[in-house]
Amino acid sequence: MTEPARRAALPVVLGMLVVLGLVLVGIGARGTTAPPAPAAASGSAPASPSPVAAAGPRQDPASGPRPVALDIPAIGVAGPVNEVGLRPDGTLEVPVPGPAYDQAAWYRGSPTPGRVGPSVILGHVDSAANGPSVFYRLGELRPGERITVTLADRTTRTFAVDEVRSVPKDAFPRLEVYGDTAGPELRVITCGGDFDDAARSYRDNTVVFARLVP
């Protein structure tokens, strides 16, 4: 199956870190809900999408080496990139409490960085136990600043920030974030905005839109 066909098959599922009714990944944690799952590559998502039981789509080896490290000098991020998929209920996985909690994670149902389409990397903003996490300063990025991803074959892909957007979780632009693009792009996602004490989650998401540069 071609990469565009795989992306077109991405399920429309219930929200997460970033969208509709969020699932908290740890009692007393802050910024730990998962981002909304990807919408289909084209068309409109249903108002109340149903979760799917199938595991998240995996790319075959021909799709390229997976990302293993991330470097964003402007906000002091430099560290490993792990891998997440979909939970059995169809929501996106997020880094769970433990050694990898404060590390970024690539959604393996998205293209590998440098291939056509939006590659998706997510991470926590903070936690009640340990304070700031990997993407605590993500909202400080400005257009033109660089994000470099190192792949498993030790090659790198560099992206320039086009836009940094704060979006309400109940109005997450799934098609803009996960939909087809003309060239290789990157999306970096975390929680943002005010913290809702009753819901134990942030009200918004911070989304960075970036494109591949030479």
Q: Which domains does the chain possess? A: 3-40+64-213 (2.40.260.10)
Distance CA 151, CA 200 (A): 35
Give the residue from 183, 179, 182 showing the smallest Cα distance to 43. 179
pLDDT in tens, the chain (214 residues): 544 444 444 433 333 333 333 332 332 345 445 666 665 433 322 222 222 222 233 334 347 899 999 999 999 999 999 999 988 877 778 899 999 999 999 999 999 999 999 999 999 999 888 899 999 999 999 999 999 999 999 999 999 999 999 999 889 899 999 999 999 999 999 999 888 888 778 889 999 999 999 9
Place of tokens 């599922």: 13
Give the residue from 29, 28, 20 showing the smallest Cα distance to 124. 29
DSSP 3-state assignment of 213?
A: strand
Distance CA 41, CA 62 (A): 21
Place of tokens 């789509």: 57
